[in-house]
Every structure is written in C-alpha cells, then in structure tokens.
Amino acid sequence: MKFDRPAEANASDRLLVLGQPHSRVEGRLKTTGAAPYAYERQDVAEGQLYGYPLGAAISRGRILSMDTEAATAAPGVRAVVTTLDMDPLPKDSHNVNRLFGGADVEHYHQAIAVVVADTFEQARSATNLIKVEYHAEQATLDLSEVTPPETEPAADTGDFDTAFANAPVTLDEIYTTPAQTHAMMEPHASVAEWKDGKLTVWTSSQMIKWWRDALAKTLSLDVEDVRVESPYIGGGFGGKLFLRADAVLAALGSKATGRPVKLALPRPLMTNNTTHRAQTIQRIRLAADNDGKLIALGHDNLSNTPPGGDGEDATSQSLSFYGAPNMRIVNRVAEMKMPESNSMRAPGDAAGLMTLEIAMDEMAERLGMDPVEFRALNDTQVVPSNPKQKFSHRNFVDCLRHGAKEFGWTNPAPASRREGHWLIGQGMAGAYRGSPASTSGARVRLQADGRVIVETDMTDIGTGSYTILAQTAAEMMGLPIEKVEVRLGDSRYPVSSGSGGQFGAASSTAGLYAACVALRAQIAERLQADAATLDFRDGEVHDGTRSVSLASLASDGELVAEDKIEFGEFRSKEYELATFAAHFVETAVNAYTGEVRLRRMLAVCDAGRILNPITARSQVIGGMTMAVGAALMEHLEVDSGRAFFANHDLASYEVPVHLDIPEQTVIFMQQDDPYSTPLKAKGVGELGVCGVAAAVANAVYNATGVRVRDYPITLDRYLDRLPEV
C-alpha cells in the first residue's frame, strides 16, 4: 500500500480497540519471569557452550602478540578465537567502528578475543589467562582539546550577523552536554548456532533486518543463510540498533566449536565496547526585538565521532522549532579514534533541547517575559529554515497554555520561594521531535478458530509494540484483542520499520493496517462483495444482508494476507511532521547542601492519535525519567590521558532510581494527524526525553538564582554560588 496522500476516514477510526487503554498483552509473561530474553534461550539449540569476551586494555595502537596457550589448556575450554586469527571483518554500513579482526586497536574494550568453554566460570577465568602484548599510542577523547572543523552551515537564512549585531536584546552563551550511555538493563547478548554454513542468532536487537544484513556482511555469509530472532528485548534506547560484538563473537565461537554458543557483554565492557551519545559543546546566540519576537537564532554545535560517524547533531531541532528570520545553524563533527558515538534516544534533539531550552529561558528573563509566553510568541507554522515547508499539524502553543494552567505555572522570580530548608523553584521547557516513518510490512493469518495471527519482524523494546499491533489487527478485523496473537522479532517474518527514531509505532501499525486491508479484500472476494461495504464486528463480517463468522471463512484452511506500507514524498518533502510537548517541573533545592529533589513533573504532548494511552504514557514518563538523569547525574567521565570512559558500570555511571522520581503527569492533546499514517498516529517514545532536562535545569535556576550551563547539574558546579544562608 502506498501512503501518498493524507489519510481519509477509514476502518481504523472506529477506535473500539485502538486508542483504548489496554494493558500490555505480554504482561503476564514479563511479570512472572516467563518472557525469554536472548541469553535465556536454553530451548532453542541443543548443547550450548558459554562464550566470554576479552576487551582491549589500550585505547589506540596495535596488538603485537597474543599468547593463548594457558587459556586454551584451561579446564573446560573448547576454543579460543582471537582478533589476530583473521583479517579485520568487513564492516556493515551502520557500524562506524569495526567489530572484530586484525591487530589494530581503535578504542578501549574493543573485542579482541572470545573464549568458549563448557561453563560461564571456565570461559571467564580462561579469558584472563590470555597474555596480550600491545604497542600503545596516545589517543584522545577530549572534545575541549579539539579545534572545531570548518563546516558549511546546515541553514544560513537572512543576514544573521547584521541582525544579531543590531538587535536590542541578545544572548550569546556556551553550553555543554556530556557523553551518555544507554545503560539498558539487559546487556547485549546472543546465542549463535553456525551449522552447515547457516547461522542462526537469537539476540537482543531493535532492527532485525539491519542485524541480519550486517551479520551476513560481517561474516561473509549469504543473507538467506542468516536468521535472526529477538522477541524480547530488555531495553535498547538506540544501543541495540546496529550489530554488536556479542553476536559476532558468539557466531565465531560457534563456528570454531561446531556447537551453539551464548555470550553476553559483561556490564563493565558495554560502555566503551558499544556506542554512546557523544558529548557536545554548543554556542547559542539569540536576538529579539523589545517585544520578544526572535530576530536571529544561531546554533553552533561541536561533537565527536570515530572517523565516518555522525556524532551528536544538537542543532537538529533548531532548524524547525522556533521562528526567526535570520538563522545560522552549524553542526561540526570532530573525528577521533574513540568508542563509537551513535544514536541514543532522540539523537540530536535530546542534547540540543537540553541547551536551547535553557537559552530560551535565559532570553525570556532578559526580555522580562514569562517563558511560556516568550515561546508561544515565537511559535511557527512553517519550517523557519525552509518556510515553503508547512507543519502537517502543530499545536505547540496549546501544549504550553494547557500545561501552564494544569501545572499552576506562576513564573515566580528566581530564588524567591523558600519552605524551611528548601529553596523551591519552577521550570518549564518546550520539546520538539520529528516524526518520521519508514516502509513496514506485516502478514496476517486468519485461523479456523477465528483468531488472527500477526507476523512482522518489528521489535518490542518495551515500547508496547505487541499491544498496539494486537489492537490494530483487532480493530481492523472486528475482533476482541484476545483473539489476536502477535509474533515479532523474527527474520522469517515480513520486514518492518523496526524500533528506532520514534518511527516504530507509527510505521509498524500502518504496515499492519495495509496487511489487514489486504485480508479484508480477500474476504470480500470470497463473499463476492465490495470490501468497502463490509462491516467487521464481533468476530463476524456483515454486508447488510448476511453475517458470516470469520472462523467459518478459514474453515478450509487459513487465509493469509501480506502487505507493506510505503510512505510517499509528500510526507517528508511537502510537510514537516513532528511532535511537540511542553514540560513543567517543580524542584526543591536544599539551601544548605544544594541537594536537588524533584517534586512533580508534567508533560503535555501533541503527538497525533494516541494508539494506547497506557503504553504511550509509559513511553513519555520513561523519557522524562531518563531526562532527569541527563539533567542531574548522567555523565560519562572522560579519562583524557587514557582516552576512555572511566565510569563504565552502573555503580559509577548513575541513572535515576525510584527516589529520584516524583509524581509524573502526562496529558495528550489527542489530535489525529492524517498526514502521518492511515492510523493518523505519530511517535512519542523520543518526545518524552526531549526538553525535560532543560525544564529541570530551569527549575533549579529558579529555585537558587544560580545558572548552570554545563550538564549534568551536579553540586560541584553550583554549591559555592548558592544564596547565603
């Protein structure tokens, strides 16, 4: 099915099942420990051995030799495969750093060997017996040492320099965001079986097709000979988008031993071995007239990446969020040999809104304006960097106004409220996140018992895919949700969008819609009726005169239909599709110790039709929670001498815990966007992490009167500047 013009009224609009607050269909499995994650697939292949990886102990250089004699002779060891045993493995286009092979070391904890043994303990201990001799070179990971490379601006409209120089009110500040790690709770893990030239990998992947292609490329196999399965994923946040070393090492171990091998990346290896969100240094310049209308907006970003990567483009939202006639947007990427910086939840916008939304707050104060009103005044219905392009739907101003009302926003003066030992502050911020969609396929199979089975290689990384896909099929086929079984994450199923970039929910439900339309057409043909006149309801199909049960249609064998949705250019070229939010936060900062506690958080989101208010809300509060981490604690510490991230485990890289998170309220504006998909839905999973950190930062400023422009906002950055007590 081609989606080449805005959706009209269609069968998904009934909202008998879609749009309803159904709890997760896989809930009973997850809450009882019965949902099998990758490392737990003990059932899938007989005789599994244990693999354990060895990571490089230097950040850059060469391996001169590896002595594996003791490791090979250790009890239970079946194979030792080292990076010197092979040339560098071919790299898939999605990977920036190579995953294995050859003598060169490009980053700390790069995988350089795998030991396979009968037990986990044997494999782990034998790994420690490998003796490696390195030639180490000095590497760097420190962005502040870099000379920013010259780059063409992404947008240069009007006359930025003149407008900025002549404006009555201006802001020119530098902000920084640190490197962050996904820290999903399930480590990267795979079971691999390499048998008769064919490879099957049971893993933890957000993108089945990408992993399948990448495995074929990396291991020089035909794609047809590779199978990937990943039905349950213990969190991804972008960290499981691209093939990782766990799958490669398990496959190599299996090839070497002729047995299935399972391997998980040890937690302390994950940060430097896999990917992270790059650190950024951002200069933001804003200029406004005395009424608060923005005249000029400049955003200049610097981040780092291994050669060939993209870094963290913190300017991405600045092209589209606020209207200003004069803009200069520049994104600079410094290349260095380093652990791979790559996508982490809302890549670009998450880091960009952390700073832009502080700058907007500072600017509102300079103008003497309420920050809610300042943002509303500078709203735009066209893309400022390309005014020919309209937003399909943009209700940001309502988010702001509605949020201010619900929250009880009073725009208090900085450092003006105190309760006992606590300084109380309010902060707010806007949020923007694009809403892309990509080709997505599905298969539906009507069974003789009246059930429908959905098959697609879509993944559920906690996002609610199982549930919203079940709702989609139930809605389309007129069934209760219990009559739909959703099967995901298997490369034998039709290729879907996968999970990433906030495109998964919108794309995969649209693909399933297309497959259901195809099944409805098949049924119409059987009944010799016009598909448009059929009414699917309560497990039956009605054509005005007769009613036929769906079960009876499949009594001679299942009915199978498959299709995919393909999105036309109008969706991305003529219109800009995006999601918006306004965030409000109340903080209490201890007047003596500077400790920050959050008291309440509110998000008002404009994100199209909400397919399931329970799972969508959880996506948003999950994003808000991660953003609290970004605001107050998350920071990969760069050891600039050794060029690695030093705090590479969950004890030293702190993420929010229960005690950090207050009451969270989420309001959806619930407005269909027919330009998005046939279901008029958009993504919401990344929107939730956008803007929130700045709302927290602004609330801390409002409580204390101390402005911090470097994240995370930890005590050392402001304790000496707190008001006298």
Partner 1 sequence: MTIHDMPKGRTDGAVRFVVNGKTVNLTLDHRVTLLDALREHIGLTGSKKGCDHGQCGACTVMVNGRRINSCLSLAVMHEGDEITTIEGIGTPDALDPMQDAFIRHDGYQCGYCTPGQICSAKAVLEEIRQGIPSHVTADLDHVTFSDAEVRERMSGNLCRCGAYSNMLNAIREVEAGK
Residues known to be catalytic: 686
How many residues interact with partner 1 (rule CB under 8 A)? 71
Give CA 656 to chain center in angstroms. 17
Nearest distance from residue 612's CB to ligand FES, in Å? 16
Alpha carbon distance 659, 207 (integer Å): 33
One symbol per residue from 451 to 480: x for binding partner 1 (CB under 8 A), - otherwise; what is it? ----------xxxx----------------
Single residue of 440, 619, 698, 704 touching partner 1 by CB under 8 A? 619
Closer CB to ligand FES, 425 or 462, in the complex: 462
Applying the rule CB under 8 A, the residues between 247 and 306 that interact with partner 1 are 264, 266-268
Give 418's strand partners: 423
Asked if residues 344 and 278 have their Cβ atoms less than 8 Å apart, the reply is: no
One symbol per residue from 461 to 490: x for binding ligand FES (CB under 6 A), - otherwise; what is it? -x----------------------------
Applying the rule CB under 6 A, the residues between 601 and 640 that interact with ligand FES are none
DSSP 291: T
Applying the rule CB under 8 A, the residues between 410 and 449 that interact with partner 1 are none
Q: Record the tokens describing residue 612, joined without a space.
A: 């399931």
Single residue of 36, 102, 235, 266 touching ligand FES by CB under 6 A? 235
Asked if residues 56 and 109 have their Cβ atoms less than 8 Å apart, the reply is: yes
Helix (H) or strand (E) holding 715: none
Binding of partner 1 by 185 (CB under 8 A): yes
Binding of ligand FES by 185 (CB under 6 A): yes
3-state secondary structure of 89: coil
417 binds, among ligand FES, partner 1, none (CB under 5 to 8 A by kind): none
Nearest distance from residue 462's CB to ligand FES, in Å? 5
Single residue of 5, 15, 47, 121 touching partner 1 by CB under 8 A? 121
Nearest distance from residue 506's CB to ligand FES, in Å? 22
Closer CB to partner 1, 237 or 396, in the complex: 237
Applying the rule CB under 8 A, the residues between 1 and 60 that interact with partner 1 are 23-24, 26-37, 39-40, 42
3-state secondary structure of 584: strand
Closer CB to ligand FES, 96 or 183, in the complex: 183
Q: Looking at 30-70, which runs of residues are DSSP E strands? A: 49-55, 61-67
Q: Record the tokens describing residue 8, joined without a space.
A: 């009209």
Q: State the CB neighbour count (10 A cutoff) for residue 571.
A: 21
Nearest distance from residue 645's CB to ligand FES, in Å? 19
Binding of ligand FES by 15 (CB under 6 A): no
> Tokens 């309760």 — which residue?
419
308 binds, among partner 1, ligand FES, none (CB under 5 to 8 A by kind): none
Give CA 255 to chain center in angstroms. 33
Give 583's strand partners: 429, 603
Q: State the CB neighbour count (10 A cutoff) for residue 708.
A: 18
Applying the rule CB under 8 A, the residues between 359 and 418 that interact with partner 1 are none
Binding of partner 1 by 650 (CB under 8 A): yes
564 binds, among partner 1, ligand FES, none (CB under 5 to 8 A by kind): none
Closer CB to partner 1, 178 or 462, in the complex: 462
Binding of ligand FES by 450 (CB under 6 A): no
Closer CB to ligand FES, 124 or 401, in the complex: 124
Nearest distance from residue 615's CB to partner 1, in Å? 7
Spatial CA neighbour of 592 closest among 421, 345, 407, 359: 421
Helix (H) or strand (E) holding 20: none
661 binds, among partner 1, ligand FES, none (CB under 5 to 8 A by kind): partner 1
Spatial CA neighbour of 372 closest among 468, 292, 278, 477: 292
Nearest distance from residue 186's CB to partner 1, in Å? 4
Nearest distance from residue 226's CB to partner 1, in Å? 25
CA distances to 358, 560, 588, 599, 721 from 700, in Å: 11, 57, 8, 12, 13
Single residue of 60, 78, 182, 564 touching partner 1 by CB under 8 A? 182
Nearest distance from residue 115's CB to partner 1, in Å? 13
One symbol per residue from 589 to 618: x for binding partner 1 (CB under 8 A), - otherwise; what is it? -------------------------xx-xx
Nearest distance from residue 45's CB to partner 1, in Å? 15
Closer CB to partner 1, 243 or 264, in the complex: 264
Task: Classify residue 152 as exposed, middle or buried by CB count within 10 Å of its CB (0-12, 13-18, 19+).
Answer: exposed
How many residues interact with ligand FES (rule CB under 6 A)? 3
Closer CB to ligand FES, 90 or 268, in the complex: 268
3-state secondary structure of 293: coil
Spatial CA neighbour of 124 closest among 132, 116, 134: 116
As a whole number of Å, the CA-based R_g of the chain is: 27
Query: Rounded to 10 degrees, what is the CA torsion of 504, 505, 507, 512?
Result: 120
Q: State the CB neighbour count (10 A cutoff) for residue 204.
A: 29
Closer CB to partner 1, 237 or 645, in the complex: 237
Q: Is the peptide bond before 339 cis (omega within 30 degrees of 0)?
A: no
Helix (H) or strand (E) holding 392: none
Interface ranges with ligand FES (CB under 6 A): 185, 235, 462
